[in-house]
Amino acid sequence: MDYMQQALYNHGADNCHIRLKFVNFETHDNHISHETQGLSDKHLVVRRGKPFKLTLLFHGRMWNPCTDRLVLEVCLVALYDLLVHIEATQHRRSYSVGRFVLLCNPWLKDDPVYMPLDVHIEEYIKSDYGLVYMGTYANISKRPWSFGQYEPGVLEACLTLLQMSPQHINNSHKDYMLRADPVYLSRVICAMVNQNDDLGILEGRWQGSYKDGVKPTDWSGSADILQQWISSKCRPVHYGQCWVFASVLCTVMRVLGIPSRVVTIFNAAHDSDGNTTIEEYYTSTGEKLNLTQDSIWNFHVWVECWMRRSDLGAEFDGWQVVDPTPQERSAGVFRCGPCPVAAIQRHCFSAPYDTPFLYAAVDADVIQLIVKNGLVVGRAVHTEQVGQLICTKSIGSDRPENLTLTYKGIKRLQACSVRKQRSNKLFSLERREAFSTHGLPSFDLSRGAEFGAGGAVHCLEVSLHTEGVPILGESIRMCVTVTNQSSSPRALVEHVNAQLKEYNRNPQESFWKIHQEMHIQPWEVLTLHHIITYSEYEFILAGDGMVNVAVVIKDTRTGERVLAAQEFSISTPLITIEIKGGDSIQVKKEQSVQVTFTNQLNKTLMSAVLTVEGFGLMQEKQEARLGLLQPGKKIEKKVSIMATSPGTKLLVATLSHSNSSVIVSRSYQKVSITAERG
């Protein structure tokens, strides 16, 4: 783009007049000045509110400042067309001199996406590397993600996304005028990341086969997805789940100049009926039932975008939630937000957009009911279960930054502690009516208004937790603690139940259960230990799989039942990735990588395959195959990597084998690519 480019003359040539011959967009200098280096090698990319320079070369007669006038005209399309008009007394000549891209400007105070600290802009605009936190609150895992805004074709894909939106197709002039507003932009892009209502990027799938596409867990960056969408002429890419939708949205927003970050909510509520309450049903033996559309996702991922809210006032400026995962419709379209985080914290449900739904996602109450023979025989309210942790990648490091207080505030967290003490009180009339008017199963709510049938005093306290972090191939160890808070001995029955579940749905059928009888003395504390061996779950539970475990303790005399539940994920053995010379390498310099997996399971793995791949580092994936991988033995693969552009790239290593289709180990290594020296 720095070379002299011949201008196109629209009205013929005449040697008696001044003519524009060449134009130089001065791309190198402009990209440095506008902080847009690397975004495109095809177009000049600049930011609004900041001047840029270009050089025009004329020939013909001499310029006469008294009679000649130079006019620059910008025409808005997907790109901006730049026209030059040379006007003399009786003549006008027009030239199309090329196109440029205009982005939002977070460096400019007058821009609604202005972000005052450069360290924040570095993280939320310029960085092409991020982390997505996943798993469960008790066992958090992190997945690196390459946002890829500097990869070839990504900028052009983001511009195409705007042109393919229903808003642009229906009324292009109105769409152009509204694009200056980041609130409007984020709402349009949010809907376009999923394909449910338009020619959007990703199709979601949460169960069934993924053979006709890519399994959501196999994606590690946005560039592949955006490039595939463009190359297929805007056909939806298969498949995405919440962290994929969110990460792609984050890429598009950063490309367009809107500061953005990926945020994870652990124990996120999906409040389908809009009553800001989640109902959970359990049998009297501890099996969780799938009787409602409401659910609690072990984790959910959305995006926060930084912008002023001139439509709401300064108190709602700052981070806004934008969620592209197609869960519920907003104004008839599968999108969510932008909603000010401040509105969620202050319970300002009238603030647009979708505040009640997002409030419920992070702060809904959970009502647990034990049912038997059509009767509710136990119930409790939990005010602290939803949104236990909300976090994002810290600035300049891989540590998580805790955002929970920004959504809930100190007063709300303190109120939760107080409400927890009252969680077993009788339901209010409104709560009873809510149960009868939201299409829930028909149970007799006249009994068991407290945890304990017939209004009995709540004398048992029960807790459940796993011992250590469950690791694939090892036994799962659990501890149940029962406290008798009365002066009378009690005869008890314990039921413990384990169910496999997906992170975003209610559990499936039980795969392990146990029950036993016991006695507890007045004021005694019983500690009960349970073990699920590897052989009892190896064929049904994958690495990073989720388990719901619940215990119901019943007093055989009073009929009082108390429930405790926990959900946890299974960690996988690590694959080690070692880069010779460290994880920072130069562009176009070949480097050696050693990848190793050691079988820590107590059984031989058949047909083990170790796969290594890296977008922007390797042209194709490499594999090492081994017939048998015995316990304690390792499989290795040595590969060479070489990056063609600076930035942050990811190496991904996976281990699969034929013993079971559900056991897979996956590891990542961040690689920092620096520019060539001198």
Task: Give the pLDDT confidence score for residue 56 in this predicted structure.
Answer: 87
Q: Is the pLDDT reported for residue 42 higher than 70?
A: yes
Task: Give the pLDDT confidence score for residue 456 in this predicted structure.
Answer: 40
Q: Region 378-398: what's the mean pLDDT?
A: 93
Q: Which of 384, 522, 381, 365 is nearest to 450 (CA)?
A: 381
- Which range, of 75-89, 403-417, 537-551, 604-618, averages the lowest pLDDT? 403-417
Q: Is the pLDDT reported for residue 318 higher than 70?
A: yes
Q: Which residue has the higher pLDDT, 321 or 431?
A: 321
The yes-or-no answer on residue 300 being catalytic is yes
Q: Region 86-91: what's the mean pLDDT?
A: 80
Residues 71 and 125 in one domain: no
435 domain-assigned: no
Task: Supply φ then ψ for residue 301, to 5 degrees.
Answer: -120, 130
The two tokens of residue 572 are: 């996988």
State the DSSP code for 486.
S
State the DSSP code for 221.
B
**What CATH number is given to the structural domain containing 397?**
3.90.260.10
Residues 149 and 91 in one domain: no
Q: Which of 575, 501, 545 is nearest to 662 (CA)?
A: 545
pLDDT tens column, 443-472? 444 343 344 333 344 689 999 999 988 888
pLDDT tens column, 510-535? 999 999 999 999 999 999 999 999 88
111 domain-assigned: no
State the DSSP code for 166.
H
What is the Cα–Cα distance from 29 to 45, expressed in whole angstroms?
A: 11
Task: Give the pLDDT confidence score for residue 282 in this predicted structure.
Answer: 95
Q: Region 630-656: what's the mean pLDDT?
A: 89
Domain count of the fold of the chain = 4
Query: Which amino acid does the sequence have at 262?
Result: V
The two tokens of residue 428 are: 């209010």
Of all residues in the chain, what percent are helix, strand and coil, respectively (each to 5)?
A: 20, 40, 40
Q: Dihedral sign, CA of 121, 123, 124, 129?
A: positive
200 domain-assigned: yes
Cβ neighbours, 10 Å, residue 126? 18
Task: Give the pLDDT confidence score for residue 444 in this predicted structure.
Answer: 47
- Which range, of 216-225, 398-407, 639-648, 654-663, averages the lowest pLDDT? 654-663
Task: Give the pLDDT confidence score for residue 412 in this predicted structure.
Answer: 61
Categorize the per-residue pLDDT at 597 as very low, low, confident or very high, splitting at 50, 70 and 90.
Answer: very high
Choose the catalytic residue: 190, 242, 250, 339: 242
Q: Is the pLDDT reported for residue 71 higher than 60?
A: yes
Q: Are 665 and 575 in contact (CB under 8 A)?
A: yes
Q: Region 396-410: what's the mean pLDDT?
A: 92
Categorize the per-residue pLDDT at 32 as very low, low, confident or very high, splitting at 50, 70 and 90.
Answer: very high
140 domain-assigned: yes
Q: Is the pLDDT reported for residue 167 higher than 90?
A: yes
Residues 283 and 385 in one domain: yes
Residues 230 and 362 in one domain: yes
Long-range contacts of the stretch 423-432 (C-beta < 8 A, 24+) = 423/380, 423/381, 423/382, 423/383, 424/380, 424/381, 424/450, 424/451, 424/458, 425/450, 426/450, 427/379, 431/367
Q: Which of 569, 603, 625 is the last residue of a domain?
A: 569
Residues 206 and 74 in one domain: no
Task: Give the pLDDT confidence score for residue 432 in this predicted structure.
Answer: 32
Task: Give the pLDDT confidence score for residue 205 in this predicted structure.
Answer: 95
Residues 255 and 393 in one domain: yes
Q: Is the pLDDT reported for residue 558 higher than 60?
A: yes
Q: Is the pLDDT reported for residue 11 higher than 70?
A: no
Categorize the per-residue pLDDT at 6 as very low, low, confident or very high, splitting at 50, 70 and 90.
Answer: low
Q: Is the pLDDT reported for residue 62 higher than 70?
A: yes
148 domain-assigned: yes
Task: Give the pLDDT confidence score for residue 351 in this predicted structure.
Answer: 95
What is the Cα–Cα distance from 276 to 239, expressed in whole angstroms?
A: 30
419 domain-assigned: no
Residues 273 and 157 in one domain: yes
Q: In whole angstroms, how far apart are CA 142 and each of 25, 83, 84? A: 42, 49, 52
Residues 157 and 303 in one domain: yes
The two tokens of residue 374 are: 């059509």
Provide CB contacts within 8 A for 160, sequence distance 6+: 78, 230, 234
Q: Is the pLDDT reported for residue 437 higher than 70?
A: no
The yes-or-no answer on residue 242 being catalytic is yes
The strands making up 575-579's β-sheet, listed across from edge to edge, are 575-579, 591-598, 634-641
Residues 226 and 248 in one domain: yes
Q: Is the pLDDT reported for residue 665 higher than 90?
A: no
The SS3 call for residue 186 is helix
Q: Are 1 and 27 in contact (CB under 8 A)?
A: yes
185 domain-assigned: yes
Q: Are 269 and 280 in contact (CB under 8 A)?
A: no
**What CATH number is given to the structural domain containing 618?**
2.60.40.10
Q: Region 142-168: what's the mean pLDDT?
A: 94
Q: Which of 103, 138, 170 is the last residue of a domain?
A: 103
Q: Which of 616, 613, 590, 609 is nearest to 667 (CA)?
A: 613
Relative to beta strand 295-307, strand 260-270 is: antiparallel
Choose the catalytic residue: 270, 300, 382, 530: 300
Task: Give the pLDDT confidence score for residue 604 in this predicted structure.
Answer: 85
Q: Is the pLDDT reported for residue 538 higher than 60?
A: yes
Categorize the per-residue pLDDT at 335 as very low, low, confident or very high, splitting at 50, 70 and 90.
Answer: very high
Task: Give the pLDDT confidence score for residue 492 in this predicted structure.
Answer: 97
Choose the catalytic residue: 111, 271, 323, 555: 323
Task: Give the pLDDT confidence score for residue 5 in this predicted structure.
Answer: 52
HSE-up of 159 (CA within 13 Å, CB side)? 18
Structural domain harbouring 510:
456-569
Task: Give the pLDDT confidence score for residue 117 in this predicted structure.
Answer: 96
pLDDT tens column, 241-267? 999 999 999 999 999 999 999 999 999
In which element (H, E) is residue 245 found?
A: helix 242-255
Residues 127 and 71 in one domain: no
Q: Which of 547, 569, 591 is the last residue of a domain?
A: 569
Task: Give the pLDDT confidence score for residue 16 in this predicted structure.
Answer: 63
370 domain-assigned: yes
pLDDT tens column, 106-152? 999 999 999 999 999 999 999 999 999 999 988 898 999 999 999 89
Strand-pair partners of 483: 461, 525
pLDDT tens column, 361-374? 999 999 999 999 88
Residues 82 and 128 in one domain: no
Residues 123 and 76 in one domain: no
How confident is the prediction for the chain on average, in pLDDT?
87
Task: Give the pLDDT confidence score for residue 413 in this predicted structure.
Answer: 56
Q: Are 610 and 623 in contact (CB under 8 A)?
A: yes
Complete DSSP assignment for 383-436: SSSTTSEEEEEPTTSSSEEE-HHHHHHHHHHHHHHHHHHTTTSPPPHHHHHHHH
Q: Region 640-647: what's the mean pLDDT?
A: 86
Q: Are 391 and 385 in contact (CB under 8 A)?
A: no
Query: Which amino acid does the sequence have at 60?
Result: G
